């Protein structure tokens, strides 16, 4: 797992070489000694939802790609620039499982590490609950291997792809 900073040997503004470019433990921000530019590596925002149908089961996706390929997750994804968390979640649910959701309610947020292409990104994952009016319309679409409807109170936490999702499910269980 490689932190994002280690991929910056030169300043993205002026091109000067980073003095500590050969160190893997150089810190969390890029600071250029030549032009004084600072690039912070803040957490990326991501969203996911526990989508519950009338019988109480929730929709989980089986991930088609790494990280977490083959494991269970909740529909969701990254928040794009200029997008609200709720807007991103509505878009991601539509893109991944083809559903429109109603009644989004904030549940919790949890930090997470997301390893992609050998780079470890820090994320802040925001979790919601929502109801699904037409659960039979759900289909496995973008980056989804298959769909699994399961009781969120008993689904095996070891099958869940990310620590933050396990934390959110634990929080959800405590509220039921």
Domain boundaries in the chain? 1-41, 44-175
The CATH number given to 44-175 is 3.90.79.10
The low-confidence residues of the chain, meaning pLDDT below 50, are none
User: What are the Cα distances from residue 155, in Å, to 57, 73, 115, 159?
Assistant: 10, 11, 24, 8
Instruction: Take residue 126 and report the two structure tokens written for it.
Output: 């925001």
Q: What is the pLDDT of residue 171?
A: 98
Q: Read off the pTM.
A: 0.89
Report pLDDT for 2: 63
Structural contact between residues 41 and 32, judged by C-beta atoms closer than 8 angstroms: no
At 117 the pLDDT is 83
The string of DSSP letters for the chain reads -B-GGGG-SB-TTT-PBPTTTT-TT--SEEE-TTT--EEE-PPEEEEEEEEE-TTS-EEEEEESSSSSTTSEE-SEEEPPTT--HHHHHHHHHHHHH----EEEEEEEEEEEEEEETTEEEEEEEEEEEEE-S-GGG----TTEEEEEEE-TTTS-GGGBS-HHHHHHHHHHHHH-
pLDDT for the residue numbered 25: 55
The pLDDT of residue 148 is: 98
pLDDT of residue 1: 54
Q: What pLDDT sits at residue 22?
A: 61
Name 109's Cβ contacts closer than 8 Å, sequence gap at least 6. 124, 125, 126, 127
CA distances from 138 to 16, 101, 144 (A): 51, 11, 11
Over the stretch 92-130, which tens digit does the pLDDT of each residue have? 999 999 999 888 999 999 999 998 888 888 999 999 999
According to the model, what pLDDT value does residue 23 have? Answer: 59
What is the model's pLDDT at position 175?
A: 95
């Amino acid at each position: 797992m490689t932190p994002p900073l280690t991929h910056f040997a030169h300043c993205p503004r002026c091109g000067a070489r980073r003095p500590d470019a050969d160190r893997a433990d150089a810190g969390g921000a890029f600071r250029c000694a030549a032009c004084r530019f600072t690039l912070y590596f803040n957490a990326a925002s991501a969203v996911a939802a526990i989508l519950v149908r009338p019988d109480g089961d929730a929709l989980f996706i089986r991930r088609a790609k790494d990280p977490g390929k083959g494991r269970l997750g909740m529909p969701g994804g990254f928040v794009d620039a200029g997008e609200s968390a709720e807007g991103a979640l509505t878009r991601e649910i539509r893109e991944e499982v083809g559903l429109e959701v109603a009644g989004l309610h904030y549940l919790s947020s949890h930090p997470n590490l997301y390893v992609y292409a050998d780079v470890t990104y820090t994320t802040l994952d925001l979790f919601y609950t929502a109801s699904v009016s037409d659960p039979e319309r759900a289909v496995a679409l973008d980056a989804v291997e298959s769909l699994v409807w399961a009781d969120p109170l008993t689904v095996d936490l070891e099958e869940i792809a990310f620590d933050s999702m396990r934390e959110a499910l634990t929080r959800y269980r405590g509220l039921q």
